Amino acid sequence: MTEPAWVERWSYNVAALATLPTPEAPGRPACMTTPVPTWRRVYRQRVPRRRPHGCCWYHGGDWHHVNATAIRLVHKAKTLGATGEDIGDHALDSAVAAGITGWDLDALASLLVIEPIRIDSDDDPASQWYDNGRHRIIAMLDAGVRHTILVRVELLDSTTGLPPRH
Ligand SMILES: [Zn+2]
């Protein structure tokens, strides 16, 4: 009997930062050695911070602008018929065509194509962890960003197109 072959199904979804788990502190860079405190998460949603800080790349730009752009371009890509992983490529192409450069383009590329932010969970819904994106989520929480794009990757049986049975 042959093992089933799996194919990945990617989806790009808007997520509210207020609903996401607080990432564990990665310990590096120096500005990320302690978890984002709850008061700061709440306070920064009311008093957003847009000005870049020079401490690290993650705090080095305006995540408000980047996320608003990412959400708009993902929506546009879906409207134009893109599906799966192509949504990210399509949205990034649109960003380049719109003349976005520098930190903003790097940040968009990270969210859309290179290392999309992913959260995984096991059967316990309270148990969630970041596959990718802890540093960026911390910087977004520090800035008071409200919405970002998360990618979900499901594995499907290549013959049936169905998710694996538990
Ligand atoms: Zn920093």
Share of the chain above pLDDT 90, in %: 80
Three-state DSSP class for residue 149? strand
The span from the CA of 71 to the CA of 13, in Å, is 9
pTM summary value? 0.91
- Tell me, in angstroms, the distance from the centre of ligand 1 to residue 19's CA: 23
The two tokens of residue 41 are 């998460």
pLDDT tens digits, 38-93: 999 999 999 999 999 999 999 999 999 999 999 999 999 999 999 999 999 999 99
Three-state DSSP class for residue 51? coil
- Tell me, in angstroms, the distance from the centre of ligand 1 to residue 55's CA: 4
- Tell me, in angstroms, the distance from the centre of ligand 1 to residue 117's CA: 18
- Tell me, in angstroms, the distance from the centre of ligand 1 to residue 96's CA: 26
pLDDT tens digits, 102-114: 999 999 999 999 9
